[in-house]
């Protein structure tokens, strides 16, 4: 079993889609092994997305991610990273496949409902950004 990080972004929380997206992830075979609601500061959002610092959309991304609370979720299943990327669809909902979370619920390339780690290495880094190892102890 592998783990990955999903984040339900501010648009998901604002538009009351938390329940819909969570059910979609559960139906896709993911087990929720950690979940919380947090509000990022500009500093913490900037740190989380530091890899995109030089990109033209960085400031917009940091502003968006700090608009309201978000829901980081630690997810577990076989091939979790690859499978979650498939389930959420392309970054731009206009290019996402039918039935994916972003196709169903996202409004634009920037406001795209959900984040998912893009490699096992980044999943480990990103999970530790929001969850302590004690919070993710396997107790089931
Ligand atoms: P990903 O979330 O599908 O992995 P990334 O390329 O890693 O996509 O970009 C991180 C986030 O930055 C995206 O999910 C989206 O919210 C935002 N973003 C990416 N490209 C653009 C853009 O061209 N305009 C505005 N926001 C963007
Ligand atoms: Mg990414």
Nearest ligand to the CA of 96 is: 1
CATH 3.30.70.141 fits 2-137, yes or no: yes
Pocket flag, ligand 1, residue 119 (CB < 6 Å): no
Pocket flag, ligand 1, residue 102 (CB < 6 Å): no
pLDDT tens for each residue of 38-57: 999 999 999 999 999 999 99
How would you write the pLDDT of the chain (140 residues) with one tens digit per residue? 999 999 999 999 999 999 999 999 999 999 999 999 999 999 999 999 999 999 999 999 999 999 999 999 999 999 999 999 999 999 999 999 999 999 999 999 999 999 999 999 999 999 999 999 999 987 55
Query: Distance between CA 51 and CA 22 in Å, rounded?
Result: 27
Q: Of all atoms in ligand 1, which is nearest to the CA of residue 49?
A: 10
> Domain coordinates of the chain in residue numbers?
2-137
The answer to whether 11 and 52 are in contact (CB under 8 A) is no
Give percent of the chain with pLDDT exceeding 70: 99
pTM: 0.97
pLDDT tens for each residue of 9-29: 999 999 999 999 999 999 999
């Amino acid at each position: 079993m592998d783990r990955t990080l999903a984040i339900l972004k501010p648009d998901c929380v604002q538009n009351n889609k938390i329940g819909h997206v969570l059910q979609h992830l559960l139906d896709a075979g993911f087990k929720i092994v950690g979940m919380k609601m947090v509000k990022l500061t500009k500093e913490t959002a900037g740190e989380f997305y530091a890899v995109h610092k030089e990109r033209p959309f960085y400031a917009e991304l940091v502003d968006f991610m700090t608009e309201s609370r978000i829901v980081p979720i630690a997810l577990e299943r076989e091939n979790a990273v690859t499978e979650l990327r498939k389930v959420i669809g392309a970054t731009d909902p206009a290019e996402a496949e039918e039935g994916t979370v972003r196709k169903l619920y996202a409004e634009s390339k920037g406001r795209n409902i959900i984040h998912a780690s893009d490699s096992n290495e980044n999943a480990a880094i990103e999970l530790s950004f929001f969850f302590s190892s004690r919070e993710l102890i396997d107790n089931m």
